Amino acid sequence: MALKATIYKAHIQLTDMDRSIYADHQVIIARHPSEADERMMIRLLAYALHVPASDQKGTLEFAKDLWDIDEPALWHKDYTDAIQHWIDVGQPDEKRLMRAAGKAERVTVLGFANSTPVWWKAIESKLTRAANLVVWQIEAAQSQALAALAERSMQLQVTVQDGTVWMSTAVGAVEITPRRLTAAA
């Protein structure tokens, strides 16, 4: 018998001073049986960092990347089903990223392992044509601390200011400083 996904619910109170977004979001996230809390929380972080200010041009949704190789972790599709923003987490291969760069207006990757700089150096030269790709690294200690906040039902306060993110719950708080690995566009 196959294992089923575990459902997590998060109420995100977002204060993003860098983008002037102040909103509450109710999020339901399915955690694949092979997915660790760390990766799931990185997906929630990606949601908070990239949720659009309004839904006039579509919505940001969790996709089925662990079930379907043709989908990212999250994507923002407009109402014509065109992909505005493809968001992956971890260390996807260069073929996947090139396909994503051809399908979407923007592609973002959030790497969160100690090996992220090594992975990026190995594939960076193969992705020079992907001008719409941005890669960020979350330090492993920060992503592991973020995993400790995971609960089946969460009240997340997320504050973003000057590129630094503070995520807190009743369990604790984590300061996250994403580091951009790609050159500034």
Rounded to whole angstroms, the Cα distance separating 6 from 125 reads: 38
Domains of the chain: 6-180 (3.10.640.10)
pLDDT by residue for the chain (185 residues), tens only, comes to 567 889 999 999 999 999 999 999 999 999 988 899 999 999 999 999 999 998 889 999 999 877 777 899 999 999 999 999 999 999 999 999 999 999 999 999 999 999 999 999 999 999 988 999 999 999 999 999 999 999 999 999 999 999 999 999 999 999 999 999 986 55
Considering the entire predicted model, what is its pTM? 0.94
